[in-house]
């Protein structure tokens, strides 16, 4: 494969990753929370104080982490976060060198930031449900699929890197 073909292939992977990530973010981090806001009658207040600033910082950091994960999947793994178009290579670098599931943590952090910004218990509850669903999905599907596809490389990675918390 020449450099032009390799570059086009990477560009195609990046386009797929951005498309799937946008759909995921649009559904789980924008549309569903906005429906919660509408149902609960939540509106942004007129005051912009420390909780709102902290919420924006958390949401920005969480979003940045999620984007870093998507780009890492595309560039190093040659795939996307979507289960039907997963990385072709095991990704253990970037944010994945610290924890095995940083993308979910980034999304949950962004949601927690939004909950703080809007001072919304409903959104905080949604965030907790999101994390629980992610945890069960990881255990029931992702870890088994990764072990099947990547074998001993994944098992060694799993022993070395924590699922949700960094190991000391």
Residue that has been written with the tokens 């088994």 in this structure: 144
Query: Is residue 78 predicted with pLDDT exceeding 80?
Result: yes
Give dist(CA 86, CA 137) in Å, integer.
15
Residue 153 included in any domain: yes
Residue 142 lies in a domain: yes
Least Cα distance to 102 among 61, 136, 141 occurs for 61
In a domain, 166, yes or no: no
Number of domains in the chain: 1
The neighbour count for residue 43, using CB atoms within 10 Å, is 9
Kindly state whether residue 168 falls inside one of the protein's structural domains: no
Higher pLDDT, 105 or 27: 105
Residue 149 lies in a domain: yes
Q: What is the mean pLDDT of residues 50-78?
A: 90
Residue with tokens 């001993």: 152
Structure-token pair, residue 156: 């060694």
Mean predicted confidence (pLDDT) in 38-55: 75
Which domain covers residue 150, as residue numbers?
3-160
Does residue 20 fall inside a structural domain? yes
Confidence class for position 45, pLDDT limits 50, 70, 90: low
pLDDT at 92 over 80: yes
């Amino acid at each position: 494969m020449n450099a032009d073909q390799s570059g086009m292939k990477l560009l195609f992977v990046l386009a797929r990753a951005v498309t799937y990530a946008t759909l995921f973010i649009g559904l789980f981090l924008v549309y569903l929370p906005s429906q919660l806001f509408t149902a609960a009658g939540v509106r942004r207040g007129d005051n912009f104080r420390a909780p709102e600033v902290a919420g924006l910082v958390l949401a920005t950091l969480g979003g940045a982490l999620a984007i870093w994960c998507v780009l890492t999947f595309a560039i190093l793994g040659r795939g996307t976060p979507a289960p039907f178009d997963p990385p072709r290579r095991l990704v253990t670098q970037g944010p994945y060198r610290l924890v095995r599931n940083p993308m979910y943590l980034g999304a949950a952090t962004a949601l927690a930031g939004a909950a703080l910004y809007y001072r919304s218990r409903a959104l905080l509850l949604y965030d907790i449900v999101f994390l629980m669903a992610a945890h069960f999905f990881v255990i029931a599907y992702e870890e088994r699929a990764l072990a099947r596809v990547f074998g001993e490389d994944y098992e060694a990675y799993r022993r070395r890197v924590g699922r949700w918390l960094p190991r000391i």
